[in-house]
Structure 1
């Protein structure tokens, strides 16, 4: 509760500290407009045209439904991968043999491109939500697993000795040593997994689903509607920026302050 209150109090500072990011975004938009002037609206619509189209799409109930569905899929797959990756990575970090056995498997999972997983999932699960969820989980799991593995293996020996000296129970060690320490390692991997999940859900929907933002992007591509496709891309990027900078960034600073 105290952490939540602290994060809410620091929200105005978070918004103020984001001016550097805003400046970089404005620079990107300026370069975008220059490219529009060079190539024309057919190839690259102007930022103003795109944002006007984006406003129209956001006001469309059908697009709102598709966006909600995409967010639901991404969150569902992400939560499953976070739970599995955190638990299995923590357990693997406690046992050296398990860690050695898991490393090659994780390397194989990371080495297989997401597009390959989508193709395999389409064969195994057909066209639909199963393919989308499977691809999100299999692509995000290794990121979280490695974070949990490294965190559990990096727990300081002095901290463990201090806990043993005070005869702390296993439950007390879990909540006062393992969880805070692990979370400081896990949270960066959670953010990376979030970005991965968001990209994968769009890609999987584009190739294997008839609904969601990815499916809408596929329709825009088939109709050569460049402005609609670009507006949908802006919608995806904007959603991810809101989640990361307004929700996750304050939590990240709190976690890093504990670590320091």
Structure 2
């Protein structure tokens, strides 16, 4: 428990560097506002005020939550499929060779094409958004999991086998912990892509959510409202990543702290 509290404290303390990056981005944003004016790029304070006004209306929570839910469902499904397929391919070179052409095909098709196909198949429903998200981000998760599984330390597995640890025990104590170092960077990127694809699918298929709100802002040339909804989508991504992904990553990568010499900081 003390070790976990220490990691949580270091995690909170590391947030200062993130705040500094956000402050720099806001400064550049403000410079753009002063250069091009409110119509092209509203000031960050005004956009933050618009976002707060949006959140002050209860119905807008439902709108934002709908997009986050759709993106999270697609992300979760893609994670399960990508991890299962990637681990299987990483442990089986034959499956890896067979899957490469399929991955190339999926990556080569742009997300906008999948949105059009999903609209034809499923109509204006949640399935259009979820399927588009799954197809768009699964290849990256699959490749990361497969690469992690292929580069695992066979010597450690042989040692574990000599001590009588079964295949599932070796997978949990050695394989998955090594795969995590490859997988979680891909999951962080895929999470952002999931929300972006979900918003794009909503905008084109006109099924509500943040995408529908952006379509309304586009129709009325409301740049401040468009940026406010975009800001809320980004906040949703950050909340999911740092409340769900990062704690799991920290738990699976405890070996990094054990391998780091005392007093040496990253």
TM-score normalised over the length of structure 1: 0.90
Q: Could you say which residue in structure 1 is the equivalent of 2:123?
A: 126
Q: Could you say which residue in structure 1 is the equivalent of 2:7?
A: 10
**In the TM superposition, what whole-angstrom CA distance separates every residue of 1:76-112 from its partner, at most 9, and x where no partner exists?**
1111111111111111122211111101111221122
| C-alpha spacing 1:109/1:154, structure 2 compared with 1 (3 Å) | same
Q: Which runs of 5 or more residues in structure 1 are unaligned?
A: none
Question: Which residue of the other structure, out of 79, 96, 103, is the alignment partner of 2:76?
Answer: 79
Q: Could you say which residue in structure 2 is the equivalent of 1:43?
A: 40
Q: Could you say which residue in structure 2 is the equivalent of 1:178?
A: 175
Q: Could you say which residue in structure 2 is the equivalent of 1:203?
A: 200
Q: Could you say which residue in structure 1 is the equivalent of 2:187?
A: 190
Contact persistence 1:86–1:144 (CA under 8 A): yes
Q: Could you say which residue in structure 1 is the equivalent of 2:262?
A: none
Q: Could you say which residue in structure 2 is the equivalent of 1:167?
A: 164
Task: Give the Å deviation of 1:7.
Answer: 4.6
Question: Which residue of the other structure, out of 1, 16, 19, is the alignment partner of 2:16?
Answer: 19
| C-alpha spacing 1:97/1:127, structure 2 compared with 1 (3 Å) | same
Point out 4+ residue stretches in structure 1 off by more than 3 angstroms. Answer: 5-12, 245-257
Q: Could you say which residue in structure 1 is the equivalent of 2:64?
A: 67
Task: Give the Å deviation of 1:128.
Answer: 2.0
Contact persistence 1:128–1:209 (CA under 8 A): no
Number of matched pairs:
257
Q: Which runs of 5 or more residues in structure 2 are unaligned?
A: 260-266
Contact persistence 2:217–2:226 (CA under 8 A): yes
| Partner Cα distance (2:3, 2:60) in 1 | 35
| C-alpha spacing 1:99/1:242, structure 2 compared with 1 (3 Å) | same
Secondary structure, in 3 states, of the residue corresponding to 2:39?
A: coil
Task: Give the Å deviation of 1:255.
Answer: 3.5
| C-alpha spacing 1:255/1:169, structure 2 compared with 1 (3 Å) | closer
| Partner Cα distance (2:166, 2:35) in 1 | 68
| Partner Cα distance (2:6, 2:60) in 1 | 34
Q: Which moved more, 1:177-186 or 1:58-67?
A: 177-186
Task: Give the Å deviation of 1:16.
Answer: 2.3
Q: Could you say which residue in structure 2 is the equivalent of 1:117?
A: 114
- Structure with larger RCO (C-alpha < 8 A, sep 6+): 1
RMSD: 2.0
Q: Could you say which residue in structure 2 is the equivalent of 1:226?
A: 223
TM-score normalised over the length of structure 2: 0.89
| Partner Cα distance (1:240, 1:106) in 2 | 26
Contact persistence 2:141–2:190 (CA under 8 A): yes
Task: Give the Å deviation of 1:253.
Answer: 4.0
| Partner Cα distance (1:169, 1:256) in 2 | 21
| Partner Cα distance (2:245, 2:82) in 1 | 19
